[in-house]
A and B are shown apart, each in its own frame.
Chain A
Amino acid sequence: MTTRVVGGATLAPPTAASGGRISSLRRFAPFIPAGLILVGLFFVPLAVMLVFSFWSTGANLDVIPVWTLENYANFFENTTYVRTLFKTLVIGAGVTLVSLVGAFAVAYFLARYVSRRWARVALLIIIVPFWTSYLLRVYSWQAILGERGALNQVLMGLGLISEPSRLFVYNDIGTFIVLTYVYLPFAALVLYASLERFDFTQLTAAQDLGARPHQAFRHVLLPQIRPGLITAAIFVFIPILGEFLTPSMVGGAGGLLIANLVANFFKNALIPEGAAVGFMIAAFVLVLLIAFRRYLRVEDVYARG
């Protein structure tokens, strides 16, 4: 910030230069379109979804405004649905863990051993795929993991398997691999941002004072990058709760996640049923986001790209 003192006088805001005080409504006016979009196209539809989730589906798939808890009760009575929900949480946690560890190693390497200039180039290399079409990247994984895919060809070529395996695609393994692929770059970006600010000589100092390397790592490094770790975890875990495309492309019938249930309900025009599941995810996500609101540094993650 440049402090510029002009002719010995400090600058003060000009007092109502051209006619009258600006009314607070006029100051608020430029905000109105954005506010309308947020309220009218985000909060109101979520509220409508909540209301619909307490209504029921009629005989010819119309929505009958009769209040009921059936949609929620049915969900929890259906073991397939509950298992899908549980599986989504497990896969989400697993992908988050793998992404954090994998991304941390890369971020640590770039922050500690690579000059800042080259670290930026390396980060750019990591981010570029992220800006290409998400749909097409997931699609091209089919060509790698699929039955005629490259992975099978390589394994057969090495003599490890004798015939094409469906081990990697149209199941949870395929979903897991591709989700890690999609979200790991996010984690790398966030973790690099926090490691970049870390002074690595502190580790040396800790060891100088008698700490073992792992102690220095645990008691000096980890506490300082904890906010970054939490941000990264949120940026990986929450989107997975709503992942619908990846499971539908590489997950097959066995690898579906909770958001696919929502999509399927809607495809079959079972609106209240879908709304109930959708609202449960939304409520869970909103609670997480509000609980961790201090860590939602969206500008940091995206504006770097």
Chain B
Amino acid sequence: MSTPVASVDPLETMPVSPYAGVTRWTLRLWFAALVAFLYLPIAFMIIFSFDEGATPGLPITGFTLRWYDEMLGNRQLLRALANSVTVAAVVAVLSTIIGTMAAFVLVRGGIRYPSVTRIAFTLPIMVPGVLIGVSLLIFFARAADIPLSLATVTAGQLVVTVPFVLLIVASRLQGFDRRLEWAAADLGATPRQTIRHIVLPLIAPAILAGALISVTLSIDEFVITWFTVGNQPTLPTYIYTRVKFGVTPEVNAVATVMLVATLLIFAIATVALGRARRWSRRARLAPRA
């Protein structure tokens, strides 16, 4: 050991456990196994959507596009899809606006007990959907005498999506330097200009993330919807009744299409979020021109 001590990182001369390599490889294999576990059902779903057999299962009998064809010819399914898209659009717009407005009040001291309020808004996200669903069913059908429809579905989903938007936007607003706003006002910006050019760009990523979570949750929402839905099914409740009461290979085709659609939304979202972040950064560091 004649190496000058100062030039060597002491960590590099530390004795390494003889098991370090084994541990590392075990963990690597474990990660691979987990990914396989997570993607296995999705892989089967895609494979079965192209399988000729009317009852999905191995062995694969042959390639066909028949289930996709049946899916496109299934009026009820397309109507359910249209219902889902309508609800998701309304839910996303409403929850984004309502949640963002409330986040401002929550963070900027418009409320007496902000931490209690925050916990109260966490509850609908954490409480299992089945409880929200059945309590809304009792409330609508027995207590308030409101007929179940897509409106009650929308109301039920807002219970979960509004808190999501609120919490996400609030956490962004929390780390927001208010002096930027004061500076804008000081330099003669009207409140409206301040919001347009300073505040909105800064919190845009959070609002966008909230809107995206609302859309995804709404399209996929099954449990609350199942209890609050009238006679117009959404896509998940329609699929559930189909798979519950009979073998329906075209469901795999629907699932595959939805998977591709989700991945597309995901990709678009990533790009959009990147843009929003850049916009946000530009607003923060803008040359004072």
Using CB atoms and an 8 Å cutoff, list the residues of chain A in contact with chain B.
1-4, 6, 11-14, 17-18, 24, 27-28, 30-31, 33-35, 37-38, 41-42, 44-46, 48-49, 52, 63, 102, 105-106, 108-110, 113, 122, 125-126, 128-129, 131-137, 139-141, 143-144, 146, 148-150, 153, 181, 184-185, 188, 201, 204, 207-208, 213, 234, 238-239, 241-245, 248-249, 259, 262-263, 266, 271, 274-275, 278, 281-282, 285-286, 289-290, 293, 296, 298-299, 302-303, 305
Report Cα–Cα, A285/B122, bound state, in Å: 12
Shortest beta-carbon contacts, A-B, top 9: A242-B128, A34-B102, A148-B57, A30-B101, A45-B135, A45-B139, A109-B27, A31-B105, A140-B41
Report Cα–Cα, A41/B48, bound state, in Å: 40
Name B137's closest neighbour in chain A (CB-CB).
Answer: A266
**A184 and B34 in contact, given A34-B99, A45-B136, A148-B55 (Cβ under 8 angstroms):** yes
Q: List 30 A-B contacts (CB under 8 A).
A: A6-B183, A11-B182, A30-B102, A30-B110, A35-B102, A37-B98, A37-B158, A41-B155, A109-B31, A110-B31, A113-B27, A113-B28, A135-B220, A135-B222, A135-B240, A136-B258, A140-B48, A140-B252, A144-B41, A148-B57, A207-B14, A242-B127, A243-B128, A266-B134, A278-B130, A293-B119, A298-B163, A303-B171, A303-B209, A305-B213
**A143 and B30 in contact, given A27-B105, A134-B222, A299-B167 (Cβ under 8 angstroms):** no
Is B8's CB within 8 Å of the partner chain A? no
Q: Are A244 and B223 in contact (CB under 8 A)?
A: yes
Q: Are A31 and B38 in contact (CB under 8 A)?
A: no
B125 CB, min distance to chain A CBs, angstroms: 5
Interface centre among A6, A49, A149, A274 (most CB of B within 10 A): A49
Task: Please name 19 further chain A to chain B contacts, defined as beta carbons within 8 Å, in addition to the given A45-B143, A249-B243, A278-B134, sorted by A numbering.
Answer: A14-B182, A27-B110, A34-B162, A45-B132, A48-B135, A48-B138, A126-B34, A129-B39, A132-B259, A148-B55, A181-B37, A262-B134, A275-B134, A278-B130, A282-B131, A289-B123, A296-B126, A303-B206, A303-B209
Is B229's CB within 8 Å of the partner chain A? no
Interface centre among A129, A134, A149 (most CB of B within 10 A): A129
Is B86's CB within 8 Å of the partner chain A? no
Report Cα–Cα, A111/B22, bound state, in Å: 17
Kindly list chain B residues whose C-beta atoms are within 8 Å of the C-beta of A34.
Answer: 98-99, 101-102, 121, 162, 166
Contact of B162 among A37, A46, A208 (CB under 8 A): A37
Contact of B262 among A1, A2, A131 (CB under 8 A): A131
Q: Are B127 and A33 in contact (CB under 8 A)?
A: no
Q: List the count of A-B residue pairs having beta carbons below 8 Å apart.
A: 281
Report Cα–Cα, A132/B256, bound state, in Å: 10
Is B201's CB within 8 Å of the partner chain A? no
Q: Are A245 and B223 in contact (CB under 8 A)?
A: yes
A295 CB, min distance to chain B CBs, angstroms: 11
Q: Are B101 and A140 in contact (CB under 8 A)?
A: no
Name B163's closest neighbour in chain A (CB-CB).
Answer: A38
Name A139's closest neighbour in chain B (CB-CB).
Answer: B243
Kindly list chain B residues whose C-beta atoms are within 8 Å of the C-beta of A42.
Answer: 123-124, 132, 159
Kindly list chain B residues whose C-beta atoms are within 8 Å of the C-beta of A143.
Answer: 41, 44-45, 48, 56-57
How would you classify the secondary structure of chain A's contact residues: helix, strand, loop or mixed? helix
- Interface flags for B86-124 (1: CB within 8 Å of A; 0: not) read 000000000000110110111010110000000111111
Q: Are A242 and B130 in contact (CB under 8 A)?
A: yes
Kindly list chain A residues whose C-beta atoms are within 8 Å of the C-beta of B255.
Answer: 133, 136, 139-140
Q: Are B126 and A241 in contact (CB under 8 A)?
A: no
**A282 and B240 in contact, given A140-B42, A148-B58, A290-B119 (Cβ under 8 angstroms):** no
Is B239's CB within 8 Å of the partner chain A? yes
- Residues facing A in B258-279 (CB within 8 A) are 258-259, 262-263, 266
Report Cα–Cα, A150/B180, bound state, in Å: 59
Report Cα–Cα, A150/B17, bound state, in Å: 41
Kindly list chain A residues whose C-beta atoms are within 8 Å of the C-beta of B159.
Answer: 37-38, 41-42
